[in-house]
């Protein structure tokens, strides 16, 4: 029976869903949303805060500040509350209402950016705002998930070894690309152990991560408008880009089987299914599900929101059937 004194002490690291009956491919989904932060970002947040404490960057009067589209902000907010730090989350207009309410419940301050930077989009504008906050008050401490090595080290030490233990015969690992912390940590782990595991990055259409021209994206989580500094493409074997319409269809398809996952998970499962459909032999495959779907109920799972941004055809049964085929 687990007994904890702080919320970051608990994380379910060994839960997988067999998706073969849903996707018609041998695909296991590693569920990372069963902790008090509700996402895989708890691992990176914990590692970054603990490193800052060891290095003497965080003091009793420090104010944590971070740019986040949602999940990392929640994780840092929870840790800050448990440790007694103030926290400012700099997000943008795509952040889900449920996420904002959760940040407020945890006692955090929220700055919502609505105007994109001319060169860096909303992400660039968020980072500019963080830098301005730090320049205005030296109590602000920016952990900087985009360059912080503890972002990927956390997954090198936890996520990847857990997958290796559960699947000693693993052939391919599908990982969503956001800041690329999870991607780089897992890829480095399997590369350094000379495991013949193929690393496939899943990205959103409209993301600049792998050199594409950035364009509108409404679902927070994966994708960036600026190439992530942590990314080293030499560790990536393949990349699959997924449209947000396909993300939504996949989320709804999973929900019809009782699994309500977040938008990032829908993107990863859709990309993994596309990649597996092109293979001529069966492989053992794992995909990482970063979060659950409760924070997306007013967006991805809300018919009016979906129709407003993607049109009325996205959720029609014949469209979903065609996409699955």
320 in a domain, yes or no?
no
Residues 6+ apart with CB under 8 A from 142: 65, 66, 130, 131, 133, 134
Helices of type H across the chain: 20-23, 41-54, 71-83, 97-105, 121-136, 149-157, 159-166, 181-192, 244-255, 263-277, 303-310, 317-324
Q: How far apart are CA 237 and CA 285, in angstroms?
A: 14
Q: How far apart are CA 102 and CA 110, in angstroms?
A: 11
**In angstroms, what is the C-alpha Rg of the chain?**
19
pTM attached to this predicted model? 0.92
Tell me the CATH number at 166: 3.40.50.1100
Instruction: List per-residue pLDDT tens for the chain, 325 residues long.
Output: 789 999 999 999 999 999 999 999 999 999 999 999 999 999 999 999 999 999 999 999 999 999 998 899 999 999 999 999 999 999 988 888 899 999 999 999 999 999 888 878 888 899 999 999 999 999 999 999 999 999 999 999 999 999 999 999 999 999 999 999 999 999 999 999 877 899 999 999 999 899 888 888 888 889 888 899 999 999 999 999 999 999 999 999 999 999 999 999 999 999 999 999 999 999 999 999 999 999 999 999 999 999 999 987 888 764 444 444 3
Q: Which of 64, 9, 65 is nearest to 36 (CA)?
A: 9
Same domain, 216 and 281: yes
User: 87 to each of 8, 107, 127, 140, 320, how far by Cα in Å?
Assistant: 16, 8, 16, 9, 41
Domain count, the chain: 2
Same domain, 213 and 115: no
Q: Identify the domain boundary among 142, 172, 201.
A: 142
Same domain, 276 and 196: yes
Same domain, 186 and 262: yes
The answer to whether residues 14 and 286 touch, using CB atoms and an 8 Å cutoff, is no
321 in a domain, yes or no?
no
Same domain, 25 and 172: yes
196 in a domain, yes or no?
yes
213 in a domain, yes or no?
yes
Structural domain including 204 reads 7-34+150-308
Helices of type H across 159-243: 159-166, 181-192
Q: How far apart are CA 198 and CA 187, in angstroms?
A: 9
Q: How far apart are CA 177 and CA 162, in angstroms?
A: 19
Same domain, 107 and 169: no
Same domain, 197 and 247: yes
Same domain, 22 and 162: yes
Q: Identify the domain boundary among 81, 108, 142.
A: 142
Q: How far apart are CA 174 and CA 163, in angstroms?
A: 12
Same domain, 55 and 156: no
322 in a domain, yes or no?
no
Determine the pLDDT at residue 325: 38
316 in a domain, yes or no?
no
**Which tokens go with 254?**
């999973």
β 27-31/285-289 pair status: parallel
Q: Which residues make beta-bridge pairs with 111?
A: 90
Same domain, 302 and 185: yes
Q: Which of 179, 171, 164 is nearest to 73 (CA)?
A: 179
175 in a domain, yes or no?
yes
Determine the pLDDT at residue 317: 64
Sheet-wide strand order for 109-113: 109-113, 86-92, 63-67, 140-142
User: 277 to each of 144, 224, 267, how far by Cα in Å?
Assistant: 37, 26, 15
Determine the pLDDT at residue 69: 85
The answer to whether residues 159 and 182 touch, using CB atoms and an 8 Å cutoff, is yes
Same domain, 302 and 167: yes
Same domain, 13 and 68: no
Residues 222-246 as b/e (b if ≥16 CB within 10 A, e otherwise) read: bbbbbbbebbeeebbeebbbbbbbb
313 in a domain, yes or no?
no
Q: How far apart are CA 215 and CA 278, in angstroms?
A: 27
Residue corresponding to tokens 């009956």: 21
Q: Identify the domain boundary among 118, 142, 166.
A: 142
The answer to whether residues 199 and 186 touch, using CB atoms and an 8 Å cutoff, is yes
Determine the pLDDT at residue 245: 94
């Amino acid at each position: 029976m687990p007994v904890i004194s702080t919320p970051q002490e608990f994380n379910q690291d060994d839960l997988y869903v067999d998706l073969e009956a849903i996707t018609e491919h041998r695909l296991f989904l590693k569920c990372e949303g069963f902790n008090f932060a509700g996402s895989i970002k708890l691992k990176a947040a914990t590692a970054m805060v603990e490193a800052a404490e060891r290095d003497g960057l965080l003091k009793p009067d420090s104010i944590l500040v971070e740019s986040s589209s949602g999940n990392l902000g929640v994780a840092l907010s929870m840790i800050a509350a448990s440790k007694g730090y103030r926290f400012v989350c700099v997000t943008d207009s795509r952040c889900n209402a449920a996420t904002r309410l959760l940040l407020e419940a945890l006692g955090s301050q929220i700055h919502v950016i609505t105007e994109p930077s001319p060169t860096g989009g909303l992400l660039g504008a968020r980072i500019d705002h963080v830098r301005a906050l730090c320049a205005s008050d030296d109590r602000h401490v920016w952990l900087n998930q985009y360059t912080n090595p503890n972002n990927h080290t956390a997954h090198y030490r936890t996520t990847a070894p857990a997958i290796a233990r559960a699947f000693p015969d693993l052939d391919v690992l599908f990982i969503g690309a956001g800041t690329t912390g999870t991607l780089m940590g897992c890829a480095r782990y399997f590369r350094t152990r000379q495991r013949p595991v193929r690393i496939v990055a899943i990205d959103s259409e409209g993301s600049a991560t792998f050199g594409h021209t950035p364009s509108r994206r409404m679902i927070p989580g994966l994708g960036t408008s600026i190439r992530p500094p942590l990314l080293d493409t030499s560790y990536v074997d393949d990349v699959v880009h997924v449209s947000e319409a396909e993300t939504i269809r996949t989320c709804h398809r999973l929900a019809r089987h009782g699994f309500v996952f977040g938008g990032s998970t829908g993107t990863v499962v859709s990309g993994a299914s596309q990649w597996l459909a092109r293979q001529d032999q069966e492989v053992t495959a794992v995909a990482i599900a970063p979060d659950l779907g409760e924070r997306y109920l007013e967006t991805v799972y809300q018919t009016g929101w979906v129709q407003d941004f993607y049109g009325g055809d996205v959720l029609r049964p014949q469209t979903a059937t065609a996409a699955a085929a």
